[in-house]
Amino acid sequence: MVSRVIPVDPFDLVIFGGTGDLARRKILPGLFRRFCAGQMPDDARVIGAARSEMTSQDYRDFVADAIREFCKPASFDDGQLEAFQTRLDYVTVDAKGDGGWPELGKLMEGRDVVRAYYFSVAPSLFGDLASRLHKWKLTSDQTRIVVEKPFGRDLATAKALNASLAEHFDEGQIYRIDHYLGKETVQNLMAVRFGNMLFEPLWNSQYVDHIQITVAETVGVGGRGEYYDRSGAMRDMVQNHLMQLLCLIAMEPPSKFDPDAVRDEKLKVIRALDPVAPHHVVRGQYDASSDGPSYREAVEDPRSRTESYVAMKVGISNWRWAGTPFYLRTGKRLVARSSEITVVFKELNHSIFGEKQDHRNTLSIRLQPNEGITLNVTIKEPGPGGMRLVDVPLDMSFADALGADAEEPPDAYERLIMDVIRGNQTLFMRGDEVEAAWAWTDPIIAGWEARGEVPKPYDSGSAGPGDAVQMLARDTRVWREVKP
Ligand SMILES: NC(=O)C1=CN([C@@H]2O[C@H](COP(=O)(O)OP(=O)(O)OC[C@H]3O[C@@H](n4cnc5c(N)ncnc54)[C@H](OP(=O)(O)O)[C@@H]3O)[C@@H](O)[C@H]2O)C=CC1
Ligand SMILES: O=C1O[C@H](COP(=O)(O)O)[C@@H](O)[C@H](O)[C@H]1O
């Protein structure tokens, strides 16, 4: 397969928080992979910025260490790494003070290139960075800012953040990252829905019984306990990643694949979400196991009421989906790392084969691992046993289908950063979308707090709390098995 690398314009990318965890694990290795793929023009530079005192040479060494640690072994050679290092600079900058800003300005002076500022710092610094970029005249029409999650912790804080960014930047310059939108299969979801005749006519409550969205993780909260315990699965995963998946699966076809057409349709879905009744939500918290501490041990709070798991039944009140439930679940320390969306079609209303069997078509879109799509269809059981029906998968793994020599798809962060440089906002959240998502999430969280709800314990390495199974059983449905 011929590799298709679409070149981007020359750029200066300043990473505020260039020494942090996200920069080391995702942003810098991602940029290096794009460099190796030939997508970084000669006149493109990456500038790390943080409070730590270091020289540009120190930073080049720091980045090389990060790349050696987080890029797949043997996927590059030292020559490539040395060439990438020549594109790196570093400035000591304090987001809360004036130190370092003139030096940053000097470094960027006189360069007629795209300017992108990646805010990879704590959200409390986003407003400081925006106003100091403005104060030190480091912005122009060519400027873009990339804002990490979490984008607020509720509607009020998200509105305040939108307002503070809007003081200095137009909406067209603000790139709110949701890295799930950069995943290969998430974009494939749109290709499958809107690039085929086959599915769209059946994509509604007349033919779809229900839809399941699962994002299961094996990892716990790790070193991010302090942040996570203030957030929980609802704020950390549902309000953003699962909400985006729900939007893409449920939205109307946009008139074209452009940023506002797509984001308008997603917004309509969020605004059509029903309020969620308390008995349609299950919250869980993982227990200790032989290979790891309990949630409460991990966050060092023996009474924490924060959920590491949430499952919910969601309704969409619009013409297409009224009556079709969407079941969402996500959690940490589960049995497998497995993210998938499954569309479960209705049973046939009459069987000509004279036997009543539960045969349903399902379409599963696997996000990770083993990205691909499986369509379950009913056929005759092979052999002389008469007309007995059996369900078989039509399975397509993208890796197999595209061939062993297919180029490995860019990871979510590298794809999204290149979209920032290109000025393409399709895979980024618009301010009104984020606010609408919080407006739906806030009352659910407020209800838990008002009722003093304690999450249900679940075994690490399990599929989550039994109550989530009961929630579907009440609807005579079952969750898909969580398997790697
Ligand atoms: N890590 C992850 O997996 C994920 C992180 N995120 C988000 O990304 C952002 C960064 O997270 P993460 O990298 O984990 O955080 P870290 O705490 O690891 O890094 C924070 C960075 O900010 C710098 N910094 C802190 N204070 C200032 C300041 N006053 N002025 C300038 N720089 C400052 C730090 O460097 P120094 O101390 O030298 O100034 C460091 O480079 C956060 O918004 C987080 O929510 C989102 C998803 C996943
Ligand atoms: O944003 C986040 O996502 C990760 C899961 O991302 P994935 O790409 O590994 O599926 C999650 O672990 C983290 O808590 C959350 O902040």
- Name the pLDDT band for 355 (thresholds 50, 70, 90): low
Residue 287 CA to residue 175 CA, distance in Å, equals 37
Q: Could you report the per-residue pLDDT of 401-440, keeping only the tens digit for each?
A: 666 555 667 889 999 999 999 999 999 999 999 999 999 9
Q: 353 CA to middle of ligand 1, Å?
A: 62
Q: Could you report the per-residue pLDDT of 242-271, keeping only the tens digit for each?
A: 999 999 999 999 999 999 999 999 999 999
Tokens of 289: 């196991």
DSSP state of 458: E
Ligand 2 atom nearest residue 228's Cα: 14
List the residue whose alpha carbon is closest to atom 15 of ligand 2. Answer: 236
- Name the pLDDT band for 2 (thresholds 50, 70, 90): very low
Q: With a cut of 80, say whether residue 194 has pLDDT above it.
A: yes
What element of type H or E holds 368? strand 362-368
Query: Which pLDDT score is estimated for 407?
Result: 61
Q: Is 464 in the pocket of ligand 1 (CB under 6 A)?
A: no
Q: Is 50 in the pocket of ligand 1 (CB under 6 A)?
A: yes
Query: Which pLDDT score is estimated for 387?
Result: 82
Query: Which pLDDT score is estimated for 77?
Result: 85
* Strand ranges for 81-161 from DSSP E: 88-92, 114-119, 143-147
Residue 425 CA to residue 406 CA, distance in Å, equals 27
Q: Could you report the per-residue pLDDT of 208-231, keeping only the tens digit for each?
A: 999 999 999 999 998 899 999 999
Q: 325 CA to middle of ligand 2, Å?
A: 25
134 is catalytic: no
Least confident range from 12-16, 133-137, 287-291, 385-389: namely 385-389
Ligand 1 mutation pick, 120, 149, 165, 227, max ligand atoms within 8 A of CB: 120
Higher pLDDT, 281 or 185: 281
Burial class (CB in 10 A: 0-12, 13-18, 19+), 467: middle
Mean of pLDDT over the chain: 93
Per-residue b or e along 271-281, where b marks 16 or more CB atoms closer than 10 Å to that residue's CB: ebbeebeeebb
- The annotation status of 51 as a binding-site residue, yes or no, is yes
Q: 17 CA to middle of ligand 1, Å?
A: 5
DSSP state of 278: G
Q: What is the fold, at CATH topology level, of the domain defined by 183-407+430-473? A: Dihydrodipicolinate Reductase; domain 2 (3.30.360)
Ligand 2 atom nearest residue 412's Cα: 8
The yes/no answer on whether domain 11-148 falls in CATH 3.40.50.720 is yes
Tokens of 339: 């993210």
Handedness of CA 60, 225, 118, 40 (dihedral sign): positive
- Name the pLDDT band for 386 (thresholds 50, 70, 90): confident
What is the domain partition of the chain in residue ranges? 11-148, 183-407+430-473
Q: With a cut of 50, say whether residue 1 has pLDDT above it.
A: no
List the residue whose alpha carbon is closest to atom 21 of ligand 1. Answer: 17
Ligand 2 atom nearest residue 367's Cα: 10
Query: Chain centroid to CA 22: how far?
Result: 14
Least confident range from 64-78, 170-184, 279-293: namely 64-78
Query: Which pLDDT score is estimated for 405?
Result: 53
User: Measuring from each residue's beta carbon to the nearest atom of ligand 2, which residues come in under 6 Å?
Assistant: 217, 236
Least confident range from 14-18, 178-182, 377-381, 451-455: namely 377-381
Burial class (CB in 10 A: 0-12, 13-18, 19+), 300: exposed
Q: 121 CA to middle of ligand 1, Å?
A: 4
Give the closest residue to 132 by CA, choosing from 150, 113, 119.
Answer: 119
Q: Could you report the per-residue pLDDT of 307-353, keeping only the tens digit for each?
A: 999 999 999 999 999 999 999 999 999 999 999 999 999 998 888 88
> Which ligand minimizes its atom distance to the CA of 149?
1
Handedness of CA 68, 69, 71, 75 (dihedral sign): positive
Sequence-distant (≥ 6) Cβ neighbours of residue 386 within 8 angstroms: none
Q: Which of 134, 168, 210, 241 is catalytic?
A: 241
Higher pLDDT, 379 or 91: 91
Q: 27 CA to middle of ligand 2, Å?
A: 14
Residue 323 CA to residue 317 CA, distance in Å, equals 8
| In contact, 369 and 397? CB cutoff 8 Å | no
- Name the pLDDT band for 204 (thresholds 50, 70, 90): very high
